[in-house]
Each structure stands twice: as C-alpha cells, then as structure tokens.
Amino acid sequence: MRRRDFAIFAILALAGCAHSTSVVLLPDEDGGHGEVAIVKPGAAGGETVVSQPNSRATLRGSQPVIRPLGARGLKPNEAALLTGLPPAAKSFTLYFVEGTTNMTAESAPVLDAIRAEITERPGAEVQVTGHTDTVGAESDNDALSRRRAEEILNLLASKGFDRGIMSAVGRGERELKEPTADNVGSAANRRVEVIVR
C-alpha cells in the first residue's frame, strides 16, 4: 500500500471507528434476529434499516454506512459489553389442586429450583402470576388466582426472601395454558408462573 493511500485509509478508519456512533446488529440468543432502524437527525429520507445480523452501521454523514462485521468480528470493548449482560429471565410453573391454593406434590421440587435460582442471581427479582382453569365464576377465579400467587409469594418470603424483590398478581382464567370452553377443569391451567429475573 502506498504511503498516501495508507494515510487516507487511516483517516477514514479513524473517522469511521473512533468519532461517530456505531450500531452493531447481532443474532438473538435463540439464533433468530430482529432489526434496527436508524433515523438521522433532520433526515428527509426516513429510516435506514439494518436487517442482516452481524452488521455494523456507522452513523456518519447523511446516510448510515452498513458493513458486515467480517472476520475481525467485534472490537474488544464491544465483546466486553456482551459479557456483561445479565442472564435471561427464567420461568417456572407450579401446579395446584383443583379449587385450592395447595400446590401439587410434583411441584414441590420446582419451588426448590426457584429458590436456588433466586439465590444465584445478584439483585434477583421475582414475578409471581396466578392462574385458574375455567370452572366457576370469573370473579371467583380472579380471587383464587391472586390467592395462589400470594401463597407462593408467602412461601418464598417464609424462606427468607425479601418481599421487596417480589410481586404477585392474579390473572384468573384470562390466560389459559390449555385453551378450553368455560367450566372445564384443566390441571394444566391451574398454575402459578414464576419469573426470576
């Protein structure tokens, strides 16, 4: 490479990397991918969409420049950011005896797994959502689903977890796991979902 060319290359590289905003689109953790839309301030031309995963968009000039990450991949500071991401939220399901706030025997080990998960995560938060099947009145099921969620929250609190990190809501028969007609008993729908974040 000639000296002058190298100088131009270096200037472009500096301008592109060090002094303008960049956006890297990555594949999702499950292998799929979304997209990122970029709108330059005062741009009349609307948005530029980055839709290929493993691309880098540099927001310089009037239009963003999009290039594949290529063999060099991420820069060290970008890779460090990815490493620093908190783990994905984890979801658990507990099942209940019909008409009650009593967990089924099979669900007891799941509660242990929830406790282990909370202990493992720094700054853990717990979201408890109660559900019922479609037997009985909707309003009664709202109350029952809330009691189921509160039962689990209380069980966790009794094991020493701070109530300030937990929340409980009841969704009644609004979000069936197994779709059924009204007044149909379903073990799959009598449940509490616990998300540990």
Partner 1 sequence: MRGLESGERRWLGDVVTDTELIRALPHPSVSQGDNWGEKWAMARKSLFLVSLAALISSPAFGEIGRIKTTLGTASVQRGAEHIPAATGQELMPGDWLETGKDGRISLTFVDNTRWSVGPDSRIALTKFDYDPTSQKGVFVAQIERGSIAAVSGRITKTRCDPVPESSCGVQIKTPDGDITPRGTRFIIVVPR
Tokens coding 70: 């290529």
> Considering beta carbons, is residue 79 or 116 the nearer one to partner 1?
79
> Considering beta carbons, is residue 108 or 169 the nearer one to partner 1?
169
Q: Roughly what angle, to the nearest 10 degrees, separates helices 108-120 and 138-158?
A: 60
Angle formed at CA 159 by CA 152 and CA 172, multiple of 5 degrees: 5
Least separation in angstroms between residue 163's CB and partner 1 is 4
Least separation in angstroms between residue 5's CB and partner 1 is 25
Least separation in angstroms between residue 121's CB and partner 1 is 7
Least separation in angstroms between residue 148's CB and partner 1 is 10
Sequence letter at residue 143:
A
> Considering beta carbons, is residue 46 or 109 the nearer one to partner 1?
46
User: How many Å apart are CA 150 and CA 140, to the nearest integer?
Assistant: 15
Q: Which DSSP state fits 122?
A: T
Both ends of the chain: CA-CA distance in Å?
52
> Considering beta carbons, is residue 104 or 167 the nearer one to partner 1?
167
